[in-house]
């Protein structure tokens, strides 16, 4: 059958594998303006907008999960917004009232190379993430709270720490009318002015720190520790993105450095007799499905290579072809056999979440639910049960890269009903100036420890917290288009030529 042959050929040429379960977190009330590829009209001098638009349409008709919803005759000559505008015009768009099953998460980037690198945890960065909030109920001034700093990054070397609060950037006080332009200003170097915490809250100071952005590889394994409280041996891991390892810009693949590091952390947990686990995914927007399977395989009490962790489906054309060849039942992910699995010692797992917890993080939550009690502490997650893949021109003639949704994912029971996000069992919100990771007084960890032990280990003085009238923006939501979940090529059954 020509269709199946064409599909197989396209899979081989375009490398089906780096599929991403990806989420562009819920839109904030206000976000810093940034120049994105979806609004650019630029193409290379040798490639016309029409050629790029044709490539976009051809690829989307093959891979897009909702390819049957693409307009029959879209305007491929569309110039408004360039290829980004055309891409946007053919999406099966989400609408909270009329189309709640629509697409919230597909995106396109002007540089496929930069897109692939960012999804591999490598990007030009100052090395810290932050939340913005209103300084007071007047809602005229904006302040930023540092939520984490990457070890060895420019921010780390400048002495910026989790919990620091800044209120000026490059000498300009942040307000509702200027913060977008101030934070989006061109140039790699920025100077931040930090406040201090007094008895009445944030106090202005003239403490300044300058950082210059560099291309940097993020290590997602940010912190781990163990705690002993009576008979409870509690393991705690902060994990900020599902990345297998270090990204290679030449081959566009990663090694297994970080998956191996996670394995080593669980090796420590196992040797120390951990019988309660707190997995901190509050800042984790997603990532590689293989890394999610690796994590779940270290936690689940039923992690065997014959047990299904998750199932997925592709668009109607692919599914019809797989069903015709009798391989549709192969669209699943099995657990891995892990020497450092601690599942036999666990009755439950506590997962700390935030409003940006998404995609591969939600896959771990949903995938573990059939096998153990999953207790969520924090905020409601994004609600992304679909995945995308990176599509690029292997000849590099077209420089653009796309990240369209191509799969919907389910747990082993066939459950995928979390588009509104996973609501926490215990609702907790952290202040703009959170305590260091591992401090048992820190808001979310403190609550998890209380749920485990029934006792509070001590709380931070209320006057030390900088509250937030309302979250305005989180820089984590801008990582690699928001949030991500990737599927490896080997997981996709091949179609036979006919």
Whether residues 373 and 226 share a domain: the answer is yes
Look at the block and give the residue holding tokens 């779940």: 296
Q: Which of 226, 218, 314 is nearest to 268 (CA)?
A: 226
Q: Is residue 101 part of a domain?
A: yes
Do 109 and 161 lie in a common domain? no
Do 136 and 247 fall within a single domain? no
**Bridge partners, 333 (sequence order):** 310
Domain that holds residue 136: 124-215
What pLDDT is stored for residue 110 in this prediction? 94
* Residues of the chain with confidence (pLDDT) below 50: 1-42, 481, 497-498
Residues 252 and 170 in one domain: no
92 and 68 part of one domain:
yes
Measured CA to CA, the distance from residue 383 to residue 429 in angstroms comes to: 18
**Is residue 264 included in any domain, yes or no?**
yes
Q: 421 and 328, same structural domain?
A: yes
pLDDT at residue 1, as a whole number:
38
d(Cα 128, Cα 112) in Å, to the nearest integer? 24
**Tell me, what's the pLDDT at 354?**
96
Is 443 part of any domain?
yes
- The CA distance from 21 to 487, in Å, is 7
Give the pLDDT confidence score for residue 252 in this predicted structure: 84
Q: Based on the structure, what is the number of domains in the chain?
A: 3
3-class SS at 359? Answer: coil
Pair 269, 286 in one domain:
yes
Q: Are strands 214-217 and 19-20 parallel, antiparallel or unpaired?
A: unpaired
Judge contact between 118 and 208, C-beta under 8 A: no
Contact 37, 400 (CB under 8 A): yes
Task: Give all strands (DSSP E) within 327-380, no chain letters.
Answer: 332-334, 348-353, 373-378
Helix axes 82-89, 49-63, angle to 10 degrees: 30
Domain membership of residue 469 (yes or no) is no
The reported pLDDT for the residue numbered 199 is 81
Whether 243 contacts 285, CB under 8 Å: no
If asked whether residues 140 and 63 sit together in one domain, one would say no
Burial of 183 (0-12, 13-18, 19+ CB in 10 A): buried
Q: Is residue 92 part of a domain?
A: yes
Residue 445 forms part of a structural domain = yes
My answer on whether 194 and 50 are in the same domain is no
Predicted pLDDT of residue 85: 95
395 lies in some domain:
no
Residue 467 counted as domain residue: no
pLDDT tens per residue, range 131-166:
999 998 899 999 999 999 999 999 999 999 999 999
pLDDT confidence of residue 29: 36
What is the CATH classification number for the domain harbouring 161? 2.30.42.10
Q: How many CB atoms lie within 10 A of CB 144?
A: 25
Distance, in Å, from the CA atom of 184 to the CA atom of 279, rounded to the nearest integer, reads 33
Helix 360-368 / helix 289-299 crossing angle, nearest 10 deg: 30
Contact between 437 and 280 under an 8 Å Cβ cutoff? The reply is yes
What is the per-residue pLDDT for 468?
Answer: 54
359: left (phi over 0), alpha (psi -120 to 50) or beta: left
262 and 333 share a domain? yes
Domain boundary among 99, 121, 143: 121
In this structure, the answer to whether residues 183 and 271 fall within a common structural domain is: no
177 with 135, same domain: the answer is: yes
pTM of the model: 0.90
Last residue of a domain, one of 176, 195, 215: 215
């Amino acid at each position: 059958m020509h269709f199946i042959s064409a599909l197989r050929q396209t899979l081989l040429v375009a490398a089906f594998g780096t599929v991403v379960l990806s989420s562009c977190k819920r839109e904030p009330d206000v976000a810093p303006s940034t120049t994105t590829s979806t609004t650019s009209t630029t193409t290379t001098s040798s490639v016309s907008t029409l050629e790029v638009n044709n490539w976009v349409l051809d690829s989307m008709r093959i891979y897009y999960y909702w390819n049957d919803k693409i307009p029959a005759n879209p305007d491929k000559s569309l110039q408004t917004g360039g290829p980004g505008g055309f891409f946007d015009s053919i999406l099966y768009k989400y609408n909270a009232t009329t189309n709640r099953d629509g697409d919230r998460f597909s995106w396109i980037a002007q540089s496929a190379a930069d897109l692939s690198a960012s999804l591999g945890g490598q990007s030009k960065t100052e090395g810290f993430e932050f939340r913005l909030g209103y300084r007071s109920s007047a809602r005229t001034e904006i302040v930023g709270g540092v939520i984490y700093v990457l070890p060895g990054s420019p921010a780390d070397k400048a002495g910026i720490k989790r919990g620091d609060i800044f209120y000026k950037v490059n000498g300009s006080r942040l307000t509702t009318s200027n913060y977008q332009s101030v934070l989006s200003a061109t140039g790699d170097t920025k100077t931040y002015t930090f406040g201090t915490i007094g008895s009445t809250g944030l106090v202005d100071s003239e403490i300044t720190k300058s950082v210059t952005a560099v291309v940097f590889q993020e290590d997602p394994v940010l912190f781990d520790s163990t705690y002993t409280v009576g008979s409870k041996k509690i393991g705690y891991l902060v994990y900020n993105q599902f990345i297998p390892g270090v990204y290679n810009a030449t081959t566009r693949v990663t090694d297994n450095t970080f998956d191996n590091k996670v394995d080593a952390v669980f090796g420590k947990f196992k040797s120390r007799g951990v019988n309660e686990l707190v997995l901190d995914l509050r800042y984790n927007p997603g990532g590689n499905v293989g890394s999610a399977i690796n994590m779940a395989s270290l936690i689940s009490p039923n992690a065997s290579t014959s047990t299904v962790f998750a199932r997925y489906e592709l668009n109607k054309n692919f599914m019809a072809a797989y069903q015709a060849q009798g391989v549709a039942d192969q669209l699943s992910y099995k657990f891995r056999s892990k020497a450092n699995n601690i599942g036999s010692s666990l009755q439950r797992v506590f997962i700390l979440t935030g409003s940006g917890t998404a995609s591969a993080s939600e896959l771990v939550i949903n995938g573990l639910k059939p096998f153990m009690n999953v207790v969520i502490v924090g905020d409601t997650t994004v609600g992304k049960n679909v995945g995308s893949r990176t599509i690029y021109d292997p000849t590099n003639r077209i420089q653009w890269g796309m990240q369209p949704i191509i799969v919907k994912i389910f747990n082993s029971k066939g459950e995928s009903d979390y588009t509104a996000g996973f609501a926490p069992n215990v609702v907790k919100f952290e202040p703009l100036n959170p305590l260091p990771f591992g401090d048992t007084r820190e808001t979310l960890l403190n609550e998890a420890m209380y749920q485990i032990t029934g006792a509070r280990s001590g709380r931070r003085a209320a006057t030390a917290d900088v509250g937030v009238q309302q979250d305005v923006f989180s820089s984590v939501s801008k990582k690699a288009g928001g949030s991500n979940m990737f599927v490896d090529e080997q997981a996709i059954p091949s179609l036979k030529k006919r």
